[in-house]
Amino acid sequence: MEIYLIRHTSVDVAPHTCYGQTDVPLKDSFQEEARLVLQNLEGITFDKVFTSPLSRCVHLANYCGYADAERDPRIMEMDFGEWEMKHYDEIRDPRLQEWYKDFMNVSVPGGESFADQYKRVSEFLDDLRSEQANRIAVFAHGGVLICAQVYAKTVKPEEAFSVLTPYGGIIKIEL
């Protein structure tokens, strides 16, 4: 089974802001970026299409012709809890340094760790294995794409954030 993982386009949020599961607006460049995504998907047919329920993914799925994409909360971005919409430099929580040292296992206060997100995404991918489909599209977030690559063993967990897919990027994994 081929899974095409498509990251949403650029968001209109200040750099270094924890926007995770907040429903944030897209940049004015959406049309241009989405047109490139659509061109990169041209000629590929999907048996099933999924999207994160956050508008930045739904909007891109709709633009690409998949208004009926199934929304699945398991493929939402990491929950930054109390840090949502805060710039990293503004976070005064002493646990921030602990999280920097071990983001894989340390949960954000009121949110989740990378391991928590990985568990959600893994459950989603486990369920995809039972789909009667050869090719699936998933419109999601950078963190979800990282989790999927770790799941597919194309990326090691310790290298995960060095391979962050750019906005509007597409990667393919095989299950």
Positive or negative torsion for Cα 15, 20, 25, 27: positive
In a domain, residue 2? The reply is no
**147: in domain:** no
User: For the domain that residue 71 is a member of, what is the CATH number?
Assistant: 3.40.50.1240
Residue 39 inside a domain? The answer is yes
Q: Which of 13-22, 44-53, 55-64, 92-101 has the lowest mean pLDDT?
A: 92-101
Q: Is the per-residue pLDDT at 18 higher than 90?
A: yes
Find tokens 């983001």 and name the residue. Answer: 103
Q: Which two tokens stand for residue 63?
A: 């633009």
Residue 145, in any domain of the structure: no
| Confidence bin at 153 (pLDDT 50/70/90) | very high
Do 21 and 78 touch, CB atoms closer than 8 A?
yes
The predicted structure's pLDDT at residue 15: 93
Specify the range with the lowest mean pLDDT, choosing from 63-67, 154-158, 166-170. Answer: 154-158
Domain count for the chain: 1
107-129 pLDDT per residue, tens: 999 999 999 999 999 999 999 99
Q: Report yes or no on 140 lying in a domain.
A: no
44 domain residue, yes or no: yes
Q: Provide the domain limits for residue 63.
A: 9-132+152-174
What pLDDT was estimated at residue 104?
Answer: 87
CB neighbourhood size of 175 (10 A): 14
Q: What is the pLDDT of residue 132?
A: 92
146 pLDDT above the threshold of 90: yes
What confidence score (pLDDT) does residue 87 get? 94
Residue 146 falls within a domain, yes or no? no
3-state helix, strand, coil in the chain (%, to 5): 40, 15, 45
Output the pLDDT for position 148. Answer: 97
Would you say 136 and 159 are in contact if contact means Cβ atoms under 8 Å apart? no
Largest CA distance in the chain: 50
**Confidence bin at 57 (pLDDT 50/70/90):** very high
Q: Residue 7 corresponds to which tokens in the numbers above?
A: 């990251």
Q: What is the pLDDT of residue 161?
A: 77
